[in-house]
Amino acid sequence: MKVNSIPWHRLWMLFAQAVAIGAGLLVAWRAFGPATPPTPTTPTAARREVVTVHETSGSSSLASTLLGRRDAGYRQAARKAAASVVNVYSRSAPKRRGRRADDSLSLGSGVIVAAKGYILTNDHVVEGASEFAVMLPGGKTVDAKLLGRDPETDLAVLKVDATDLQPITFADADSVQVGDIVLAVGDPFAVGQTVTHGIVSATGRNRLGINTFENFIQTDAAINPGNSGGALVDIEGNLVGINSAIYSESGGFQGIGFAIPVSLARKVMDQIIAHGRVDRGWLGVSASDVERGDPGAVIKKIERGSPGEKAGLRVGDTVIALNGKSIADATALINETAMLAPGSQAEYKVIRQGETVALEAQLGRRLASAAKRR
C-alpha cells in the first residue's frame, strides 16, 4: 500500500489554519466566557473599578453621585425656604347676599423675615384689600395687619401674632450672579406651596416700566400668578429676591420672571417696619443719559427752590458721581439719590464745560408718585 506524502506547503497551510482557529476560539472565550475577577489590591484593578463605576447608570456611578449631592442640596434648600413662605389672603366684609363674612380670597405669597411675625410681600398683592389673613407653613391660618406699603418698589410688610415662626435667611446682597441656580417658592394659582427651579438670567434689569425704582433679578424659574411676594432663594435656601412680575404675552409662564433683590427689599422693609413708610431723598432735577453713551446724567431741568438749585447745579451739567459712587445714567442718578435720607448731605461731582466741579446738596423729601401697575 502506497502512502502519499503531504507536500510541505500544504502542511504550512494546515498549521496556519489551526493557529487561526485557535485564536478565534480564544477571542470567543474572552467575549462570552466567564470573566476573570480582577485582583483588588493592584493599581490596575483600582483604575478599572473607577472606570466601571463611572460608566454605569446606577447610583454608585460618579455622575450619579454628583447629581445625588446636587439634588439633595435642592431638597434641603426647598425645605428650608418652604418653612418661611406663606400664602396671603384677603378678608373683607361681605359685599353681596349669600357671601359669608369669613370668605377669603388668595392674593399671593409672602416671606417670613423675622420671628416677631413680620412678612414681606408685594404691594400689588395687598393693594385694594382691607383685611388680611396668612396661611402659615403647616396649614394654620392667622389674621395679619398691614404695617405699610411702598408702591414705588412694589413691596409691603404684614405683621402676624404667631409663635414658632421660621424666618428666612437673607443671602449676601452681592452674591447673586448670572448663571447661579435659584428656586422660586410660592403658591401659584392657589394650588398650594410650589417650588420651581432655574437660573439667574440677568441682574440689574430696569426701565421695564413695572415700578418706579427697578433693579430686578431676571430668572427662568417658573413664576406664575400667585407666586408674587414669594421667595427666590439660592441652593442653600437663602433669600436672594422677592418674586414680583413676569413677562408674558399669554398671562402664563414664558421663561422670563423678575424678582426684587434683597439689597433693595431689605432697605424698604426696614423703613416700613421702623416708620410705616419709606422716605426718599429728593434733588429736584430732571436728567437724561449722555447721548454718546458715556457714563453720567445730563441735567435738563431744575425745579425752582429745589435742593439742586440751592446746591448750584446748572442745566447742562453732567453728574458723574454721588458721594464718591459713579453715576452710570439718569436712572442711576434718581435711584441713588432716592436711597439717601431726606435732610442728608450729598456730594455731587459734575462736569461743567470740561471741568470737574463738586457740589453739596441737602436733600429734600421725595413725594411718592403713583404706582405703576402691571
The DSSP output letter for 47 is: H
Cell of 264: 433693595
Identify whether 154 is a catalytic site residue: yes
Q: Are 272 and 156 in contact (CB under 8 A)?
A: yes
E-state strands within the chain: 85-91, 104-112, 118-121, 132-135, 141-150, 155-160, 181-186, 194-205, 216-219, 231-233, 239-246, 257-261, 281-282, 285-289, 297-302, 318-322, 325-326, 345-352, 355-362, 364-365
Per-residue pLDDT of the chain (374 residues; tens, 9 = 90+): 333 333 434 434 444 444 444 444 443 334 334 443 333 332 333 333 222 222 223 333 333 334 445 555 689 999 999 999 999 998 764 454 444 444 568 899 999 999 999 999 999 999 999 999 999 999 999 999 999 999 999 999 999 999 889 999 999 988 899 999 999 999 999 899 999 999 999 999 999 999 999 999 999 999 988 999 999 999 999 999 999 998 887 777 788 999 999 999 999 999 999 999 999 999 999 999 998 889 999 999 999 999 999 999 999 999 999 999 999 999 999 999 999 999 999 999 999 999 999 999 999 999 876 444 33
**By C-alpha distance, which of 188, 189, 217, 214 is closest to 371?**
214
Q: Which of 195, 194, 184, 175 is nearest to 245 (CA)?
A: 184
Q: How far apart are CA 290 and CA 196, in angstroms?
A: 40
Q: Which one of 84, 109, 123, 124 is the catalytic residue?
A: 124
Q: Tell me the three cell numbers of residue 146.
A: 398691614
The answer to whether residue 124 is catalytic is yes
Q: How many CB atoms lie within 10 A of CB 194?
A: 19
pLDDT at 72: 58
Domains of the chain: 181-275 (2.40.10.10), 281-365 (2.30.42.10)
Catalytic residue among 84, 201, 228, 244: 228
Helix, strand, coil share of the chain (percent; to 5): 25, 30, 45
3-state secondary structure of 134: strand
Rounded Cα gap, residues 337 and 300, in angstroms:
16
Q: Which of 123, 150, 154, 220 is catalytic?
A: 154
